[in-house]
Amino acid sequence: MKKWLMIGFISMLTLSTLAACSGGNQNGSSGGKSKDTITVKHAMGTETKVPANPKRVVVLTNEGTEALLELGIKPVGAVKSWTGDPWYSHIKDEMKGVKEVGLEGEPNIEAIAELKPDLIIGNKMRQEKIYDKLSQIAPTVFSETLRGEWKDNFSLYAKAVNKEAKGKEVLQDFDKRVSDLSEKLGDKKKKRVSVIRFMAGQSRIYYEDSFPGIILKQLGFDFPDKQKKLFEKQKDKFAFMTESKESIPEMDGDVLFYFTYQPAESKKDALTWQHDWTSDPLWKKLNAVKSGNAHEVDDAIWTTAGGVKAANLFLNDIETYFLKS
């Protein structure tokens, strides 16, 4: 009898030792990581434990969707592209089978819950009010803003899906491409670039803190002097918004790019607004227009998508209009 008691005691001791060596509590954290989870600090001022290898990710921003795709992750659900049906043309092939879960500004919480996600990626600027509800569905990580600096958000998303190394590689590749293109552009970078967006009832002049502005600055371009003076008067360096055609002269540049935001569900016609402005005598007097250097480009690529894939397609446009035209 004593022999069997001794064998049982040794077996229990061995199992205890093995458990201690394997880490015991899998929910514990060591350096922000455990066996099954990683810890991510994000815009809601908290640290959230998320799966180390998420399988069912729902993403609630357009630029976040592009980030996941670039990282090799196909989400199970995503918010609708602003001007897509439901996805932008440059990502629609990769998004086959992905469930649409509303818009950035109004995600469908029930649709998200039905997908049984193990990770939700969103944005404080867009979805702060529903963060608690989302967190009850699955671990939720938020980026801070959507003001054009897509690289910061991309790095956070890469960390949230435990692909930081891949994320750094993507950003390094982009920066190298910018550097190489900047070198090829040479003296062409001396041309002042103007970026204009038409919306239903409003026109915008984009500046250095916008998605196109940040990339143009990284390439080495600058903005027209008139626009520099215009933005001296306002703290926000994102965009100047106007409803008056009297602002048209301030839209001029050596090269001008313009695009129109026309979402499918909008009852207002932005294309009519754009035509009204580009048909105006003031527009036709712009030096960029008279010299044939006013180019209409894709709104999704130049601002609406706002992610890594759009950023690379943006570089394609710059190469086309400055080096191949």
Query: What are the pLDDT digits (tens) for 129-185?
Result: 999 999 999 999 999 998 888 999 999 999 999 999 999 999 999 999 999 999 999
For residues 115 and 233, state if they share a domain.
Answer: no
Same domain as 208, residue 96: no
More confident call, 8 vs 240: 240
Question: In degrees rounded to 5, what are phi and psi of residue 204?
Answer: -135, 145
With a cut of 50, say whether residue 31 has pLDDT above it: no
Domain membership of residue 68 (yes or no) is: yes
pLDDT confidence of residue 248? 98
**Measuring CA to CA, which residue among 297, 285, 289 is closest to residue 260?**
297
Domain range enclosing 128: 37-162
pLDDT value of position 4 = 42
Within-domain flag for 8: no
Residue 132 confidence (pLDDT):
97
Q: What is the pLDDT of residue 8?
A: 45
pTM confidence score: 0.88
Q: Note whether residue 14 is domain-resident.
A: no
Q: Per-residue pLDDT for 40 more than 60?
A: yes
Domains of the chain: total:
2
Residues 52 and 151 in one domain: yes
pLDDT tier for residue 233 given thresholds of 50, 70 and 90: confident
- Please give the angle made by the CA atoms of 85, 86 and 91, to the nearest 5 degrees: 100
Same domain for 239 and 204: yes
Kindly state whether residues 238 and 302 are assigned to the same domain. yes
Q: Are residues 141 and 228 in the same domain?
A: no
Tell me what the mean pLDDT of segment 92-102 comes to.
Answer: 98
CA gap 275, 203 in Å, rounded: 12
Same domain, 120 and 225: no
CATH of the domain at 92: 3.40.50.1980
Asked which of 162, 196, 211 is the last residue of a domain, the reply is: 162
27 pLDDT above the threshold of 90: no
Do residues 158 and 191 both lie within one domain?
no
Q: Do 226 and 317 fall into the same domain? A: yes
Whether the per-residue pLDDT at 319 is higher than 80: the answer is yes
Same domain, 118 and 195: no
Q: Whole-angstrom Cα distance, residue 120 to residue 237?
A: 31
pLDDT in tens, 45-80: 999 999 999 999 999 999 999 999 999 999 999 999
* Residue 31 maps to a domain: no
- Mean pLDDT over residues 248-254, rounded? 98
- On whether residue 25 sits in a domain, the answer given is no
Same domain? For 151 and 217 the reply is no
Across the chain, what does the average pLDDT equal?
90
Q: Confirm if 212 and 302 have CB atoms less than 8 A apart.
A: yes
In a domain, 244, yes or no: yes
DSSP letter string, 183-249: HHHGGGGGSBEEEEEEETTEEEEE-TTSHHHHHHHHHT-B--HHHHHHHHT-S--SEEEES-GGGGG
Residue 28 clears pLDDT 70, i.e. is over it: no
In a domain, 171, yes or no: no
Q: Is residue 229 part of a domain?
A: yes
Q: Are residues 195 and 131 in the same domain?
A: no
Buried b / exposed e over 75-90, threshold 16 CB at 10 Å, is: bbbbbbbbbbeebbeb
Contacts of 162 (CB under 8 A, 6+ apart): 38, 52, 53, 54
pLDDT for position 16: 40
